[in-house]
């Protein structure tokens, strides 16, 4: 960004506006609770839950792509491995903020630790998130420690931040480097099953709800895992296309093409799972299974499915990444990555909202005269503002970290 001052300042203007809107949303959330939210008695989960699983997917996907390097030794993706870890960390923070604001009593979040219920799947999710967050921090620190020591000699804020984060480490010997690499490899390996468990667990969290046929499927944990890899891969692809310092070089173009092939394969696998989910349910024609899918495809928000999920999530990436000419262009590969990132907001909304919009009891909406008892959900201004603020907060952290920490794709080769 620092090489393009116009883009840099435009980025920060957007971030500041989002933070200001988020500040208004935060004030409303803290003073009015859930009264200004538009979810209610029938649709009990809304935008914040959808954004929570969206960012959890981005985090898990980015981490698993970093694990290709740290756990499985796929050196081809080494230039983006550190950026992937940093992306996983920021995305996880945004996910947890969204679900925290969705809690009825935000101040009681700690009780999942002090009053644990080992039979609760949600409790296990929180514990897995905690372990994953600690693991991410440790792995990231071991990965950048050597560069932090070198950067601590720099003047100004960069040097000061590096000296603080180096935690007094000054050892740059080959033995120290090998220990750091071993620690990163071990943590990356341990993190693979952890990421699979917690993101597959999010899918299981929906899948075990037997009262909602649209969620009650053994495919859900697998769909969540594949979609995490697709969304995380798309985000990294967009970042590397737009931010890499080596843009325009043969190496950048070559790596972008390899990433395009990897993400294309994941998109096709996701398409296969989505087709299986929809086609089997529609062919079975069981009303409870079909109604949520019909609501997603032909309901008042049909465009979220057809334009967002199908158009941006499948058609555009498959064309841009499948056609050799565009696949070799970092610009078009970056566009495909952005399309995937935008599409998955719609994907997550379609997972959460349509199944809840179908009443379990016929006539329930008419029997209860309440504005909260409705099958139509549109996020309120407060919900949008708070979500925009959280995203702006994540974008600010990302930009600051990208500026002050050795996370840039080429920084790992700095000596």
**pTM of the entire structure?**
0.89
pLDDT in tens, 347-368: 999 989 888 888 777 777 777 7
pLDDT in tens, 40-62: 778 888 999 999 999 988 998 88
pLDDT in tens, 15-28: 999 999 999 999 99
pLDDT in tens, 258-298: 899 999 999 999 999 999 888 988 888 888 788 889 989 99
Q: Mapping DSSP to helix (H, G, I), strand (E, B) and coil, where does residue 285 land?
A: coil
Residue 376 DSSP code:
-
Give Cα separations from 175 to 171, 185, 187, 215, 282 (angstroms): 9, 15, 18, 51, 60
Q: Cβ–Cβ contacts within 10 Å for residue 397, how many?
A: 16
Q: Do 316 and 326 form a contact (C-beta atoms < 8 A)?
A: no
pLDDT score recorded for residue 263 = 93
Position of tokens 């929180």?
126
Residue 356 DSSP code:
H
Per-residue pLDDT band at 413 (split at 50, 70, 90): very low
Give Cα separations from 349 to 45, 46, 296, 346, 410 (angstroms): 10, 8, 9, 5, 36
pLDDT score recorded for residue 250 = 85
Q: Cβ–Cβ contacts within 10 Å for residue 170, how many?
A: 9
pLDDT score recorded for residue 147 = 92
pLDDT in tens, 181-206: 999 999 989 888 888 877 777 777 78
Mean pLDDT over residues 74-97, rounded? Answer: 90
Give Cα separations from 71 to 62, 128, 262, 300 (angstroms): 14, 19, 17, 45
Q: Cβ–Cβ contacts within 10 Å for residue 162, how many?
A: 21
pLDDT in tens, 368-377: 777 777 888 8
Could you give the CA distance from residue 341 to residue 237 in angstroms, rounded to a whole number?
Answer: 10
Could you give the CA distance from residue 72 to residue 92 in angstroms, rounded to a whole number?
Answer: 23
pLDDT in tens, 235-245: 888 888 877 77
Per-residue pLDDT band at 415 (split at 50, 70, 90): very low
pLDDT score recorded for residue 299 = 87
pLDDT score recorded for residue 339 = 95
What's the count of helices (H) and strands (E) in the chain, helices before strands?
16, 0
**What length does the chain have?**
415
Dihedral sign from CA coordinates of 371, 377, 379, 383: positive
Mean pLDDT of the chain: 88
Give Cα separations from 284 to 91, 271, 278, 357 (angstroms): 37, 20, 10, 20
Mean pLDDT over residues 373-389, rounded? Answer: 92
Tokens of 361: 């009891």
Q: Do 271 and 321 form a contact (C-beta atoms < 8 A)?
A: no
Question: Does residue 155 have a pLDDT over 50?
Answer: yes
Q: What is the biggest distance separating any 2 CA atoms in the chain, rounded to whole angstroms?
A: 74
């Amino acid at each position: 960004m620092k090489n393009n001052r116009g883009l840099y300042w435009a980025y920060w203007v957007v971030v500041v506006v989002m933070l200001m809107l988020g500040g208004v949303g935060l004030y409303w959330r803290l003073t009015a609770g859930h009264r200004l939210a538009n979810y209610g008695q029938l649709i009990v989960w809304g935008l914040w839950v959808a954004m929570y699983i969206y960012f959890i997917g981005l985090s898990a996907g980015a981490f698993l792509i970093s694990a290709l390097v740290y756990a499985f030794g796929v050196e081809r993706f080494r230039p983006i491995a550190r950026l992937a870890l940093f992306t996983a960390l920021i995305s996880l923070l945004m996910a947890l903020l969204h679900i925290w604001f969705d809690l009825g009593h935000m101040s009681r979040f700690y009780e999942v630790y002090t009053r644990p219920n080992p039979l609760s799947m949600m409790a296990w999710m929180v514990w897995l998130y905690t372990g994953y967050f600690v693991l991410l921090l440790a792995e990231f620190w071991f990965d950048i420690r050597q560069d932090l020591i070198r950067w601590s000699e720099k003047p100004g804020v960069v040097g000061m931040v590096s000296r603080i984060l180096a935690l007094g480490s000054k050892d740059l010997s080959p033995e120290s480097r090998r220990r750091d690499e071993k620690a990163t490899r071990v943590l990356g390996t341990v993190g693979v099953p952890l990421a699979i468990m917690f993101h597959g667990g999010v899918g299981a969290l929906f899948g075990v709800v037997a009262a909602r046929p649209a969620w009650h499927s053994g495919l859900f944990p697998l769909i969540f895992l594949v979609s995490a890899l697709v969304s995380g891969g798309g985000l990294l692809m967009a970042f590397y296309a737009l931010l890499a310092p080596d843009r325009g070089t043969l190496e950048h173009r070559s790596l972008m093409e390899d990433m395009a092939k990897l993400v294309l394969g994941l998109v096709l696998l996701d398409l296969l799972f989505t087709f299986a989910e929809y086609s089997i349910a529609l062919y079975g024609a069981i009303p409870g299974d079909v109604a949520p899918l019909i609501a997603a495809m032909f309901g008042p928000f049909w465009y979220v499915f057809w334009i967002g999920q199908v158009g941006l999530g499948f058609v555009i990436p498959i064309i841009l990444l499948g056609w050799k000419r565009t696949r070799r262009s970092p610009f078009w590969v970056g566009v495909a990555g952005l399309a995937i990132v935008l599409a998955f907001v719609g994907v997550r909304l379609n997972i959460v909202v349509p199944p809840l919009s179908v009443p379990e009891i016929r006539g329930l909406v008419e029997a209860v005269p309440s504005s909260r008892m409705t099958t139509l959900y549109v996020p309120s201004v407060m919900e949008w503002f708070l979500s925009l603020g959280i995203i702006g907060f994540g974008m600010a952290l990302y930009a600051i970290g990208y500026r002050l920490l050795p996370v840039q794709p080429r920084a790992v080769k700095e000596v």
